Amino acid sequence: MRFRRKPGNGGFTLIEMVVVISLILILLSIALPMYNQSIIRSKEAKLRYNVSKLNEIIQAYSLDKKKAPQALDDLVQAGYFKFIPDDITGRNDTWVTEPEDPQNAWDQNETGIARVHSGSDAMSSEGTPYSSWTH
């Protein structure tokens, strides 16, 4: 027995379209927050890496040159970096540098940078400010 379509019954009903669109909207409302959270976690992971790498390179520069860098650009000029990595703000000029302790400085007459941290006052997904991340 074969089923034959009647002429004029070749599409979807309005109810079927509403159900499909509703399901798509429900799935989007679930997926979009997850996607946004994964973007934030990715940026935070990049920040952690950049802070860690910058502080590691500052230490390496200080050990190699027997003096701390005076500015982050010194790390580029000395060949430790091709460019200064971006802060979580998306810019590389928002890093906050912390000076060396003058009593423990390599050169007490010319203190330099001891470490860096983010210049952003925004809060992380962990509830701490990005500016408190030093490692």
Residue 88: domain span: 14-132
Domain-embedded: residue 6: no
Q: Is 95 exposed, middle or buried (0-12, 13-18, 19+ CB in 10 A)?
A: buried
Which pLDDT band, with edges at 50, 70 and 90, does 9 fall under?
low
Mean pLDDT of 24-35: 93
The one-character DSSP state at 71 is: S
Q: In this model, does residue 124 exceed pLDDT 80?
A: yes
Domain-embedded: residue 33: yes
Domain-embedded: residue 93: yes
Cα Rg of the chain, angstroms: 27
Domain-embedded: residue 3: no
What pLDDT score was predicted for residue 3?
A: 57
Domain-embedded: residue 77: yes
Domain-embedded: residue 7: no
Number of other residues whose CB lies within 10 A of the CB of residue 53: 13
